[in-house]
Structure 1
Amino acid sequence: MFDNYIEGLFPDFIANFTNLTDLRIYGMKLQGPIPKQFSNLINLKYLMLGDLDGANSTIDFIPDSANLSILSLRKCGIIGQFPSTPPTLPNLTYLDLRSNNLSGQLQLLLPYKSSRYLYAGDNDFSGHLPAEFIQPSLALDISYNPFINGLLPNNPTDRKLSVNYIGTAIDTSRAINSENLTLLNCLHMKECNRKYYANAITSFAVNCGGKQTIYSDPLPIRFDDDTTDLGAAGFHVNTSMQWVVSHVGSDPFRESPRFVNTSQVILGTDMPELYQTARTSRSALWYYIVGLSNGKYTVQLFFAEIVIEKPGKRLFNIDIQDRNIKTDFDITKEAGGFRRPTNITYEVTVVNSVLKIHLHWNGRGTCCIPYEGAYGPLVSAIRGFSPRKSEQQPPTSTASVCAK
């Protein structure tokens, strides 16, 4: 059960269906708590719950099970300390605990280090990052756990890691690219290097998922390259232009693309190439611009749906400076069709020299059309400028939405 408007309390009678092997309840308007009797569902292979409001839950509804391979509990209102004796799940490959209020030492999750995906971001875990988690076979998200600290463990191999620790207190001073990583301190106003404010910027432009592109409008506008593959969890720091892109999320059943593109012409715009590529995520994308002059900015987001033909299938939320500006945003509907451009223009005030753009899936829309994992936020480009620079006007598309 997912992607509909069923309301009411979470159905506790499901706990009686002890032969269930697959249970998915998310993207609806149900109220918690999750019944503790769910611990009787020991035959489950897939348990995917999410997007619950109402009363909080504790984590003791998770059964000990040799069958469970996928456990997703994103945004379920789960509170309290993670148990010192965690549920026994020897065949778990995918664990998603994001956006709850779980606490306790991060090392309590070590029994699940053999999973392929371990998402624990946006909680209250604490302590150091165990070195056992730093392995190429594991996609790890511990972002936005402000009490996780200590040194960043060394990479034991030459292979690229898939780790996102933005929003933690981890010390990166011994990392190979530690100079680049100091930019992350600015995101939570911790020991931000003054060089990022010495020459404050008043504009930015990023070609999300695409190569560097320059347009004249009427003066040259350079959209920065944004083609770094972030894996199933990760971030990239562009120190020269002072922005960061962060991503978390992968479909549990299929390797998920981080970029999409089309060779088809995008009509209704004077910059069609910009809309032919996009960065996408199964869960969440963040863009941070660091070192902006404080003041008012015009922010523009560029979209074109180039994967899913029908409206109502890709839905996601958009926040700017932690304020929601769009819920269930539907690119195809807003643009008036498939492979058509639409822009969102939003006026914002920057007060701490950092601009934050957050696009995130809310459990609604398709999951499997035209392929497994075709959901979540998608964006073609972002741009911002200070209105004081009157020569910089936003490019146009046929469809444009102003969010105030």
Structure 2
Amino acid sequence: MAPSPPAPLLLLLLALTGLAVAVAQFPFPPPQQPTTNASDADALRAVFRRWGLENGTTVASEDPCRKRVWFPSFATNASIDCSCDGSTGQCRITHLNVTGYLNLTEIPPALFNLTELVSLDLSSNNLTGPIPPEIANLSKLETWHFNNNQLDGSFPNEASHLTGLQSLWMFDNYIEGTLPEFIANFTNLTDLRIYGMKLQGPIPNNFSNLINLETLMLGDLDGGNSTLEFIASWANLSTLSLRKCGISGQLPNVLPNLPNLKYLDLGSNNLSGPIEPLLSYRSSGQLYISGNNFSGNLPSEMVQSSRPLDVSYNPFLNGSLPNNPAGQKWSINYIGTSIDASRTINSENLTLLNCLNMKECNYNNLITSFSVNCGGKQMTYPDSSSNMFYDDTSELGAVGFHVNTDRQWVVSQVGSDPLSDSPGIVNTTQVIPGIDMPELYQTARTSRSDLWYYVVGLSKGRYTVQLFFAEIVIQRELNNGPGRRSFNIDIQDQNIRTDFDISKEAGGLGRPTNITHEVTIENSVLKIHLYWNGRGTRRIPYEGAYGPLVSAIRVFPPENPINSPPPAQPEPVPQDNNNKDNKRRGVVAGIAALCIAAAVISSSVVYLWWKWVSLVKHPNSW
């Protein structure tokens, strides 16, 4: 017989069994999910109500940190992120992204009650007015993007409290005043982008304190007196763009050590002297120094097949290009310099380039008209052999130019976007309405920065320059979204359009529009310059390049214009046959009524005349 378990053990087993039964009958409540802090929830709801983003009763009825995403799409985004504390059962809103809503025109005061925000992205909306000083309440911000809006006024001093910022994007607004010096105290910054506004220089020298920078893009600073003294030995810097910053003087003999630099843009400043100090950046991926006054020889070591190099419009820069390696092509633009290219291009091409520099330009084959299908194949307008649009399909790369000797024209392109690649030639299959020659608008040449077209050998006289445009890059689903192209147009170094927006001018995306301008040609060369001005969409919601775009160009004497391509005649509005018949019956009935009325009146007149005669002859008969 097996021994019985000890009494204490038996009692313990019975107790455990009873406890299990009790737990089964009365289970513990599940752990409670954290909820959004009441103050944060109220602030977010107030902001969304002011912006019209309630989405019915969703914002009011749902816990924000449990929902987190509203209206996600390619063009628009409204979302939050939260940090939750299990011990307190509360979540705080730490990230707010509201981008791509053109109906947003104000910054609600309740926004600044979200004091735990670490990231605030309000880019690509239509916000107006100044930045409120209450921005100081968001002292924990690390990312602050408010680019591509309509904000104005000065940058508030209260923003100096945001010393934890790591990413600051404030481009494409109307903010004015001096470039804030207190930004130098944001020593945690890794990404700083300030351009396309109304700010004044100079660049403060204490910007050298920004030792953690990886991307620095400054541009479009009015005024001068900036130097390169603020550049420090930034070990992590990979992108340095200082386009149109009013920088003058010569390059220092010893530039700071920038071991990871991949992109350098010093374009459109007033730098002078030799460029040898830039040899320390030989390994950089892209180098742009156009529009300065550099002089001396171009070091052959700077010309590398693997690196785009733009030295154009430095008229005093000379020297010669090295011999091309077999099967390789230099990615270089040297138009507007004194560089000797006779060893690398043929004499006819060199003649045209010399014409652009206004030297040795004795061109005999004078012309009086010109047309080019920008980015497209050669085309002839129907029934008009004299209206030829020439082929313009040469790939120019990041920088480069193409000389069309037969047709006496040159196209030059400079790409200056370090953050994205965009093709130089674009096309679409969508139907372009309202014109007889839609194929002309289905291709275009575009650029990340600058496009030049030169027509060489024009006879002296007055000409009409006609430019053709259609927005075929920004997607149609963004017709009511934030996608916006903005660029300037100069003809013969005279600005004719600022902040030119194709879709706005045409009344929508994928619609054609033309602009014309009258010029007088004295030196046989026509120069057309289309260039990005620091404004327009660059991110919707990811990086994109929206510089200048043009579909076609025509040049012709104004006294003998060819309206090409002429606008299509509007189709006649179809008429309802029943309405036509009714109108015809009405006309017939009206004529018949007039005839009857005329007969009645005539009869009445005859009758009265007869009665009057009778009365005269027989007065006693009445």
Q: Do Structure 1 and Structure 2 share a fold, with TM-score over 0.5?
A: yes
| Letter matched to residue 539 of structure 2 | C
The question of 1:143 aligning with 2:312 is answered yes
Per the TM alignment, residue 294 of structure 1 is displaced from its structure 2 partner at its CA by: 0.6
C-alpha distance in structure 2 between counterparts of 1:338 and 1:387, whole Å: 30
C-alpha distance in structure 2 between counterparts of 1:107 and 1:374, whole Å: 31
Match of 1:23 in 2: 192
Match of 1:6 in 2: 175
- What's the CA shift string for 1:304-355, capped at 9, x where partnerless? 0011144771000000010000000000000000100000011111111100
C-alpha distance in structure 1 between counterparts of 2:561 and 2:225, whole Å: 51
User: TM-score with structure 2 length normalisation?
Assistant: 0.62
| Superposed counterparts of 1:58-137, under 5 Å | 58-137=227-306
C-alpha distance in structure 1 between counterparts of 2:390 and 2:256, whole Å: 45
C-alpha distance in structure 1 between counterparts of 2:521 and 2:350, whole Å: 22
More strand by share: 1
Q: Is the 8 A contact 1:164 1:248 kept in 2?
A: yes
Match of 1:318 in 2: 489
SS at match of 2:373: strand
C-alpha distance in structure 1 between counterparts of 2:185 and 2:561, whole Å: 66
| Letter matched to residue 342 of structure 1 | T
The question of 1:307 aligning with 2:307 is answered no
| Letter matched to residue 254 of structure 1 | S
Match of 2:454 in 1: 288
Bigger mean CA deviation after superposition, 306-315 or 263-272: 306-315
Match of 2:145 in 1: none
Q: Structure 2 residue aligned with 1:334, among 488, 505, 523?
A: 505
Per the TM alignment, residue 391 of structure 1 is displaced from its structure 2 partner at its CA by: 6.0
- What's the CA shift string for 1:265-302, capped at 9, x where partnerless? 11111110010110000111000000000100011000
Per the TM alignment, residue 174 of structure 1 is displaced from its structure 2 partner at its CA by: 1.8
Match of 1:396 in 2: 566
Q: Is the 8 A contact 1:304 1:338 kept in 2?
A: yes
Q: Is the 8 A contact 1:113 1:138 kept in 2?
A: no
C-alpha distance in structure 2 between counterparts of 1:370 and 1:257, whole Å: 19
| Superposed counterparts of 1:187-206, under 5 Å | 187-192=356-361, 194=362, 196=363, 198-206=364-372
Q: Is the 8 A contact 2:196 2:220 kept in 1?
A: yes
| RMSD of aligned alpha carbons | 1.5
Bigger mean CA deviation after superposition, 179-188 or 267-276: 179-188
Q: Structure 2 residue aligned with 1:349, among 503, 509, 520?
A: 520
Per the TM alignment, residue 236 of structure 1 is displaced from its structure 2 partner at its CA by: 0.6
| Superposed counterparts of 1:259-274, under 5 Å | 259-274=425-440
Q: Is the 8 A contact 2:467 2:554 kept in 1?
A: yes
| Superposed counterparts of 1:168-207, under 5 Å | 168-192=337-361, 194=362, 196=363, 198-207=364-373
- What's the CA shift string for 1:112-150, capped at 9, x where partnerless? 111111000000111111111221211000000011112
Match of 1:222 in 2: 388
SS at match of 1:155: coil
User: TM-score with structure 1 length normalisation?
Assistant: 0.94
Q: Structure 1 residue aligned with 2:336, among 160, 167, 172?
A: 167
SS at match of 1:61: coil
C-alpha distance in structure 1 between counterparts of 2:299 and 2:347, whole Å: 19
SS at match of 1:360: strand
Q: Is the 8 A contact 1:129 1:153 kept in 2?
A: no
- What's the CA shift string for 1:41-75, capped at 9, x where partnerless? 11000000000102420111112111000000000
C-alpha distance in structure 2 between counterparts of 1:91 and 1:274, whole Å: 44
C-alpha distance in structure 1 between counterparts of 2:269 and 2:355, whole Å: 25
Match of 2:111 in 1: none
Match of 1:234 in 2: 400
Per the TM alignment, residue 218 of structure 1 is displaced from its structure 2 partner at its CA by: 4.7
Q: 1:232 to 1:185 in 2, by over 3 A?
A: same
| Letter matched to residue 203 of structure 1 | S
C-alpha distance in structure 2 between counterparts of 1:340 and 1:370, whole Å: 24
SS at match of 1:53: coil
C-alpha distance in structure 1 between counterparts of 2:566 and 2:213, whole Å: 50
Q: Structure 1 residue aligned with 2:410, among 244, 250, 273?
A: 244
Greater RCO (Cα-Cα under 8 Å, separation 6 or more): 1
Q: Is the 8 A contact 1:84 1:108 kept in 2?
A: yes
Bigger mean CA deviation after superposition, 356-365 or 49-58: 49-58
Q: Is the 8 A contact 2:224 2:245 kept in 1?
A: no
- What's the CA shift string for 1:341-375, capped at 9, x where partnerless? 00001111111110000000000011123752331
SS at match of 2:351: helix
The question of 1:387 aligning with 2:558 is answered yes
C-alpha distance in structure 1 between counterparts of 2:345 and 2:457, whole Å: 23
Q: Structure 1 residue aligned with 2:445, among 279, 291, 299?
A: 279
User: What percent of counterpart residues are identical?
Assistant: 72
SS at match of 1:334: helix
C-alpha distance in structure 2 between counterparts of 1:291 and 1:372, whole Å: 41
Structure 1: segments with no counterpart, 5+ residues: 399-404
Bigger mean CA deviation after superposition, 23-32 or 86-95: 86-95
SS at match of 2:439: helix
Per the TM alignment, residue 397 of structure 1 is displaced from its structure 2 partner at its CA by: 4.2
Per the TM alignment, residue 157 of structure 1 is displaced from its structure 2 partner at its CA by: 4.5
SS at match of 1:382: strand
Match of 1:401 in 2: none
SS at match of 1:59: coil
| Superposed counterparts of 1:27-42, under 5 Å | 27-42=196-211
SS at match of 2:530: strand
Q: 1:341 to 1:251 in 2, by over 3 A?
A: same
C-alpha distance in structure 1 between counterparts of 2:496 and 2:435, whole Å: 24
4+ long deviations beyond 3 Å: 217-220, 309-312
SS at match of 1:135: coil
SS at match of 1:317: strand
C-alpha distance in structure 2 between counterparts of 1:182 and 1:218, whole Å: 31
SS at match of 1:98: coil
C-alpha distance in structure 1 between counterparts of 2:396 and 2:537, whole Å: 23
Q: How many residues align?
A: 394
- What's the CA shift string for 1:366-387, capped at 9, x where partnerless? 1123752331000001010112
C-alpha distance in structure 1 between counterparts of 2:498 and 2:194, whole Å: 20
More helix by share: 2
C-alpha distance in structure 2 between counterparts of 1:386 and 1:376, whole Å: 30
